[in-house]
């Protein structure tokens, strides 16, 4: 079986190869925990530094372990090239800084992670880059904005954080192609196991690799993957010059995480579906946000463009005070931010991850005061349900 010909993502997860190791034939890609690489002569070093010769000379410019991670991500996302960063936010910011000119504009989907929202609305205006956030995620809403203004990039987050709203990726990409505008998507919640945006027309895919790609809560990292021409620009303009690089050790840990990504995502989703179904029936829950439920507004879109519904569930208990009380009463769930870890996590978006948004911005994004976000882990689903039941009934 030739790995390059395999399209089965479970096999790609396990059999992604790192740098060759002719001396020892290591099964696991080795960790190159080094700052610099020796060269044979000054002429050899000059050729490496100027790109006339392939190889490594300084880990800010390239490292075998980091490159092994990047190649594996590209295989999983079915893209041409990838870059690894010190965080997910660094990855998003690098794309904007490299590809959007001064006085440029970004058209963004309706609901965004709090850090992304603040980057777009608080920080980028200082660089003379404006972001317009659409009123809803209907493709025709994107079309109306594109017809009345000039944009250099469309940014999508689907499923979104924390409301799990869905964007029809193919429809938006078709509209973007008409206008010759690149599309970038945050694929953190779905991962390439459940969604491969490049196959649907997306140009650039970004991940907070801190989350499911790592899977164990011990790495902060970001990934950008897409067309090689764009990746080369981002690498030369931002990654090498500004230096927001990932460490080789963190890259090695992410390679480890990718080995189990497929089986972990299956378990996350199985547990999440059971928890969502329980919450959907509970009398004290006003609304459940999970695309796997038939009454979710994006359920049909999710069935078309995703192969699984993910491991994040949000639910609304009506008001902020009740939401905080429920969160403070849980015993098994861990009160913490982030998602994608083995442990199940619970947090209050309006108070924590999206606290940088004003009340008006929270309302516009559909983030209600009583909204609770769950990252469903790998425990037994019945134990998670029992914990939520006692917290809701207390």
Separation CA 302–CA 124 (nearest Å) = 31
Q: What is the DSSP pairing of strand 287-289 with strand 105-108?
A: unpaired
Residue 106 backbone dihedrals phi, psi, to 5 degrees: -115, 135
186 flagged as catalytic: yes
Taking a C-beta distance cutoff of 8 angstroms, is the pair 84, 70 a contact?
yes
User: Tokens for 146?
Assistant: 């594109």
Separation CA 299–CA 186 (nearest Å) = 19
The catalytically annotated residue of 186, 203, 316, 387 is 186
Residue 374 backbone dihedrals phi, psi, to 5 degrees: -115, 135
The catalytically annotated residue of 53, 60, 274, 320 is 60
113 flagged as catalytic: yes
The catalytically annotated residue of 32, 113, 212, 289 is 113
Per 3-state DSSP, the chain is made up of helix, strand and coil in percentages (nearest 5) of 45, 15, 45
Separation CA 376–CA 340 (nearest Å) = 8
The C-alpha angle 132, 133, 139, rounded to 5 degrees, equals 110
Separation CA 205–CA 155 (nearest Å) = 10
Separation CA 319–CA 206 (nearest Å) = 33
289 flagged as catalytic: no
The catalytically annotated residue of 211, 235, 264, 373 is 211
Sequence-distant (≥ 6) Cβ neighbours of residue 64 within 8 angstroms: 18, 19, 30, 32, 56
- Annotated catalytic sites, by residue? 60, 113, 186, 211
């Amino acid at each position: 079986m030739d790995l390059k010909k395999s399209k089965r993502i479970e096999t790609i997860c396990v059999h992604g190869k790192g740098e060759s190791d002719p001396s020892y034939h290591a099964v696991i890609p080795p960790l190159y925990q080094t700052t610099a690489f020796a060269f044979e002569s000054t002429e050899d070093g000059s050729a490496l530094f100027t790109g006339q010769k392939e190889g490594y000379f300084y880990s800010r410019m390239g490292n075998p372990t980091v490159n092994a991670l990047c190649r594996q991500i590209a295989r999983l996302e079915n893209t041409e090239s990838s870059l690894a960063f010190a965080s997910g936010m660094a990855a998003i910011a690098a794309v904007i800084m490299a590809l959007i000119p001064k006085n440029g504009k970004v058209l963004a989907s309706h609901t965004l992670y709090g850090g992304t929202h603040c980057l777009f609305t608080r920080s980028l205006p200082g660089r003379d880059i404006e972001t317009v956030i659409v009123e809803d995620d209907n493709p025709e809403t994107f079309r109306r904005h594109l017809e009345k203004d000039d944009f250099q990039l469309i940014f999508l987050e689907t499923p979104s954080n924390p409301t799990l709203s869905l964007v029809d990726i193919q429809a938006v990409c078709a509209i973007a192609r008409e206008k010759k505008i690149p599309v970038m998507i945050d694929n953190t919640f779905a991962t390439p196991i459940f969604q491969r945006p490049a196959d649907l027309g997306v140009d650039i895919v970004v991940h907070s690799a801190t989350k499911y790609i790592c899977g164990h809560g011990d790495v902060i990292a970001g990934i950008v993957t897409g067309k090689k021409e764009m990746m080369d620009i981002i690498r030369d303009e931002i990654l090498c010059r500004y230096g927001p690089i990932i460490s080789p050790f963190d890259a090695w840990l992410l390679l480890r995480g990718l080995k189990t990504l497929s089986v972990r995502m299956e378990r996350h989703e199985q547990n999440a579906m059971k928890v969502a179904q329980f919450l959907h029936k509970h009398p004290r829950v006003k609304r459940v946000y999970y695309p796997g439920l038939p009454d979710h507004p994006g359920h049909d879109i999710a069935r078309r463009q995703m192969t699984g519904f993910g491991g994040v569930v949000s639910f609304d208990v009506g008001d902020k005070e009740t939401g905080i009380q429920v969160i403070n009463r849980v015993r098994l769930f861990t009160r913490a931010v982030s998602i994608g870890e083995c442990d199940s996590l619970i947090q209050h978006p309006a108070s924590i991850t999206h606290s940088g948004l004003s009340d008006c911005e929270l309302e516009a994004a559909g983030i209600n005061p009583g909204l609770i976000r769950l990252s469903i882990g790998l425990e037994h689903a019945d134990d998670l349900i029992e914990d939520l039941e006692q917290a809701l009934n207390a």
